[in-house]
């Protein structure tokens, strides 16, 4: 069963930036940043979302939490436990955010308050959402840090963020995110700033929460190896759209979109496998090519690719879940035998 269902989620920037070229036409017109995203995050599973920088992964995550940047507006449906988050009033949303859905950001320093002790910051989350005494909350903060392998947690809770290492700060953020046992954890590049040992610990922790507490996770990362090892389903995003989605083993075994093929290169996905650069750059949302948005970078593009944007079509079902892709060359799949420009 789905914990979170997204239907045709689009995110538009209401006004054109004032400097530089006028994107998307005249000032005041809206720019489409994320286009008609449809996906389901099942209960108790890790859903991986990958794609190059600027393709809209973080905006998608922020829209789930109702914290899009100023001027951006989401349309469509984001249903969580039967309620549409896009229609939820701010007061109700406040009880969901940090409690039922929480998020770990890439850079912990921007999310921790530098002038408050870390223990206090964790206790604040607990006191806001759970009916426990202050003493109980303080006890929970220490237990959470211990659970996350922070040495001497009783002492650490009395320290300020700058007194902790980057890895410890990230675990404090993680403690805040899981303090109220959320049903959905959004982890946006949670391990980018960490060394491999801490990264492995944090990912183990995420898997344990999924297994023990049935928590679902939206795992956003540039590292396909992390997705291969930790997620059940993976979606690949390009220029604000989903271009491929499949059960993890299926996507790595038989990628069906040239963009995914490009990202994977010939390297098998192991931890540390960063996305392989694909020639060219992700187009700006206001400079998309006609038809398939990937056509100008695709080694397999034909004339027809520029005529219309391909549908996100079902290309298979391995039993573990549907495999969908957005490419008109699915039937001949020329990337399978390494031909290009055919
Ligand atoms: N506050 C903002 N105002 C205007 N444009 C923004 C804002 N935040 C993001 N964007 C633009 O929206 C697009 C998608 O950005 P987003 O941050 O979602 O990408 P991303 O996939 O998370 O990239 P990364 O991998 O670098 O984190 C980009 O073109 C980006 O420049
Ligand atoms: Mg991002």
Residues lining ligand 1, CB < 6 A? Answer: 13, 33, 51, 53-59, 69, 285
pLDDT in tens, 240-294: 999 999 999 999 999 999 999 988 874 455 555 566 678 888 999 999 999 999 9
Q: Which ligand is nearest to the CA of 49?
A: 1
Q: Which ligand is nearest to the CA of 50?
A: 1
pTM of the model: 0.91
Stated as kind and residue range, the H or E segment containing 8 is: strand 2-13
Query: Domain segments of the chain: what residues?
Result: 2-100+182-337
Stated as kind and residue range, the H or E segment containing 223 is: none
The residue behind tokens 């009033």 is 89
**H-only helix segments in the chain:** 57-64, 90-96, 108-111, 118-129, 134-147, 153-156, 166-178, 196-213, 224-230, 248-253, 258-264
Nearest alpha-carbon partner for 141 in 127, 162, 129: 127
**How many A from CA of 134 to the centre of ligand 2?**
35
pLDDT in tens, 207-255: 988 998 899 999 999 888 899 999 999 999 999 999 999 999 999 999 9
**Residue 242's beta-bridge partner residues?**
237
Strands 216-220 and 46-50 come out as parallel
Mutate to test the pocket of ligand 1, among 10, 16, 58, 189 (most ligand atoms within 8 A of CB): 58
Instruction: List the Cα angle 78/80/86 in 5-degree steps.
Output: 35
**How many A from CA of 160 to the centre of ligand 1?**
30
CA-closest residue to ligand 1 atom 31: 54
- What CATH number does the domain located at 2-100+182-337 have? 3.40.50.300
Ranges of residues in the chain whose predicted pLDDT is under 50: 20, 22, 266-267, 339-342
Which atom of ligand 1 lies nearest, measured to the CA of 70?
A: 1
CA 54 to chain centre: 12
Residue list, CB under 5 A from ion ligand 2: 58
**How many A from CA of 333 to the centre of ligand 1?**
31
Structure tokens at 300: 């397999």
Which atom of ligand 1 lies nearest, measured to the CA of 59?
A: 18
90, with CB counted inside 10 A (0-12, 13-18, 19+), is exposed
């Amino acid at each position: 069963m789905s914990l979170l269902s997204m239907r045709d989620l689009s995110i538009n920037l209401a006004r054109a930036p004032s400097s530089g070229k006028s994107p998307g036409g005249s000032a005041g017109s809206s720019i489409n940043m994320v286009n008609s995203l449809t996906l389901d995050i099942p209960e108790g599973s890790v859903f991986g979302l990958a794609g190059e920088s600027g393709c809209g992964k973080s905006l998608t995550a922020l829209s789930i939490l109702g914290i899009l940047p100023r001027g951006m507006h989401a349309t469509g449906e984001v249903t969580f436990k039967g309620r549409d988050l896009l229609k939820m009033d701010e007061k109700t949303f406040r009880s969901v955010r940090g409690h039922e859905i929480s998020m770990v950001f890439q850079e912990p320093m921007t999310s921790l308050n530098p002038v408050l002790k870390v223990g206090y910051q964790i206790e604040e989350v607990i006191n806001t959402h759970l009916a426990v005494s202050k003493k109980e909350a303080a006890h929970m903060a220490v237990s959470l840090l211990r659970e996350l392998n922070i040495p001497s947690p009783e002492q650490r809770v009395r320290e300020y963020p700058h007194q902790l290492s980057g890895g410890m700060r990230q675990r404090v953020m993680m403690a805040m995110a899981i303090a109220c046992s959320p049903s959905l954890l959004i982890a946006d590049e949670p391990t980018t700033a960490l060394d491999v040992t801490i990264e492995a610990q944090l990912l183990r922790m995420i898997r344990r929460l999924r297994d023990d507490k049935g928590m679902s996770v939206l795992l956003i990362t540039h590292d396909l190896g992390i997705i291969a090892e930790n997620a059940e389903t993976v979606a690949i995003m390009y220029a604000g759209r989903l271009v491929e989605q499949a059960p993890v083993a299926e996507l790595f075994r038989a990628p069906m979109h040239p963009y995914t093929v490009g990202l994977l290169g010939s390297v098998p996905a192991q931890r540390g496998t960063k996305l392989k650069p694909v020639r060219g750059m992700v187009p700006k949302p206001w400079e998309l090519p006609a038809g398939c948005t990937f056509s100008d970078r695709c080694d397999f593009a034909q004339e027809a690719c520029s005529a219309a944007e391909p549908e996100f079509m079902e290309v298979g079902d391995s039993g573990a879940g549907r495999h969908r892709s957005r490419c008109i060359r699915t039937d001949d799949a020329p990337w399978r035998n390494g031909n290009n420009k055919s």
